[in-house]
Every structure is written in C-alpha cells, then in structure tokens.
Homo-oligomer: A and B are copies of this chain.
Amino acid sequence: MGVFADRLVAAMQGNSSLLCIGLDVDPALAPPSLVGREGWIERFALGIVEATRDLVCAYKPNLAFFEALGLDGYHGLRAILDGLPRDVPTIGDAKRGDVGSTAAAYARALFDVWGFDAATVNPYLGWDALEPFAAYSDRGVLVLCKTSNPGSGDLQDLPTRVGETTMPLYEAVARRAVSEDLHGNLGLVVGATYPAQLARVRSLAPQLPILVPGVGAQHGDLEASTRAGLDESGGGIIVNASRGVLYASTGEDWQTSARAAALKLRDRLEAASGGRKGASGRPAAG
C-alpha cells in the first residue's frame, strides 16, 4: 500500500491500535445540545477526534452522512478534514465506482479535492473503472469484497465461474484485487459480520490491508473477525466502529463516553491480536 500503508502502520504502532472510528455525523443521534448550532457538524466530529486521537489507526468519514446534510454537510466535512491531526490517516468511505473519465473525476474529488489518504470503491463496473483511483499510488484504494449487510450475499455469494474454478463472487473480487495490484496500493473491505469469509479472503490476499466494518451497531464478532483478518505481522486490518463510539452518550459526557467506548474497543482489539509483531504492515520475518 506504499505511502498509505506506511502512514497506517505508523499510526497502528504509535497508538497501539487497529481501531478506526467512522465519523458518521447524524443529527438524529448526536448530542441535542450541539445539533443545529453554527458549525455543529465539525464541532461534534472534531470533539470525537479530540477525545480519541491517541486510540486509533485511522478516521473514516462516510460521505453519505455529509451529503444527507446538504451544503452544510460539505462545508462541515471540509472543516473536519482541515482539523484532523496529520499523524492519523483518513479513509473516505465513498464506495464510488463509475466508467472511465467519470471515475477519474471521482478520484480527483476524493484524493485531490477532499485530500483523503484512502478511499473505498465498488468493483461492479470492472477493473478499468478502478484504475483512475489506483493510479494515485500514494493513496490507498479499498475495494468492496464482502460487505457487512445481511443481503450482501445476493450478488457477492453467487457461485461464479472464473476459468475452470467455481467460487463465490466475493472470492473472485479478492483474487482479482491481488493480481491487479499494479501500484501496490489496493486493499479490500470485508464486514466483521462474516468472520469465516474474512478468513477466506485473508488466505487469498495475505498481504492486502483489509478494512473491517461492522463491529459496533451491526454486531459483528470483534474477536473472531480480528483473528480471521490479521496478517502475519499481527496487523493488516483496520477495524471500524462508528455509532457505538460516536453516540455512546448524547449527554454532557459525550466526549468522555466516546473515549471510554473507543478505549474498550482498542483494548479488545489489542487482546485479540496480540499486538503488532513487525514494524511494517508486511509480514515480519520469523
């Protein structure tokens, strides 16, 4: 993953953490004392960051929540990205995918305009549609593989023939991500709600970073998915929680409660993983 991987591993080491916090600002869930006040979007998100920045390996704003807030949301996201600490990498959870010149416009938006260190992308349109993202070799490109939702199997589990072999579609995506990783900056997304599939993907893609959402409100199995997803270095997974941290309390103690929730998740991840063995995201020797 090049530059992104280096930044990620540095944050994982520095904060002893595989935890990523999803900055999904939702006015229906955020502290009522903040919602609607001037600049509340960035005040809330950066308040969460202030309370957790020594506990995480990455922050992951999901663009959907900002888009749902209209122009205020975009201005808020800009202020959040400008206010984030430089030593923690950012993942733009956008799940974009489009044809040729349009994919290039999305890549410019995510990497040049917003300035994310990595972004999630959707593989349905094919690999030429992902190349404009991957061409940003200093950024990470995390390809949806097996998503955390109950209906993810509708397409992703369909038995698919690739050459002489039949495999679920998500496996075909994982294998292809390995063979198409021309710039050394691809990764995968596999939900914590499917630890067996996560283990399978890790076996197919031993060296790719895997973003693992779904441990909080979606009730993915944190311990099982951590063990399933670790690479040989004891890292290589970015385990995301959003609502369970952000909305741990909506009272005056929202920051301390978010910190407590993040700390608990961080420590559970450290216990499940046994800490990082190597200094890089690639497998350590021995």
Q: Tell me if A129 is interfacial: C-beta within 8 Å of chain B.
A: yes
What class of interface size applies to chain A in its complex with B? Answer: 35 or more
Partner of A158 from the list B127, B149, B161 (CB cut-off 8 Å) is: B161
Question: CB-nearest residue of chain B relative to A72?
Answer: B113
Alpha-carbon distance between A96 and B144 when the two chains are bound, in angstroms: 13
Q: Chain B residues with Cβ under 8 A from A160's Cβ?
A: 158-161, 169
Verify A99–B169 contact, CB threshold 8 A.
Answer: no
Verify A147–B162 contact, CB threshold 8 A.
Answer: no
Alpha-carbon distance between A251 and B198 when the two chains are bound, in angstroms: 55
Q: Chain B residues with Cβ under 8 A from A106's Cβ?
A: 64, 67-68
Q: Chain B residues with Cβ under 8 A from A153's Cβ?
A: 126
CB distance from A64 to the nearest CB of B (A): 4
Verify A68–B126 contact, CB threshold 8 A.
Answer: no
Verify B158–A99 contact, CB threshold 8 A.
Answer: no
CB distance from A178 to the nearest CB of B (A): 14
CB distance from A2 to the nearest CB of B (A): 23
Q: How many identical chains are in the complex? A: 2
Partner of A62 from the list B26, B75, B98 (CB cut-off 8 Å) is: B98
Query: Known: A67-B109, A109-B64, A161-B159. Contact between A154 and B127, CB under 8 A?
Result: yes
Q: Tell me if A227 is interfacial: C-beta within 8 Å of chain B.
A: no
Q: Chain B residues with Cβ under 8 A from A154's Cβ?
A: 123, 126-128, 176
Q: Chain B residues with Cβ under 8 A from A239's Cβ?
A: none
Query: Known: A126-B151, A150-B128. Contact between A62 and B158, CB under 8 A?
Result: no
CB distance from A179 to the nearest CB of B (A): 11
Verify B124–A156 contact, CB threshold 8 A.
Answer: yes
Q: Tell me if A152 is interfacial: C-beta within 8 Å of chain B.
A: yes
CB distance from A208 to the nearest CB of B (A): 18
Query: What 10 pairs across the A-B complex have the smallest Cβ distances?
Result: A126-B151, A128-B151, A126-B154, A67-B109, A64-B105, A99-B149, A68-B105, A124-B124, A159-B161, A68-B108
11 A-B contacts (beta carbon < 8 Å): A64-B103, A65-B105, A68-B106, A100-B218, A123-B154, A126-B150, A126-B155, A126-B156, A128-B154, A129-B147, A154-B176
Residues of chain A having any CB pair with chain B under 8 Å:
24, 26, 62, 64-65, 67-71, 74-75, 78, 95-100, 102-103, 105-106, 108-109, 112-113, 122-129, 144, 147-156, 158-162, 166, 169, 172-173, 176, 191, 213, 218
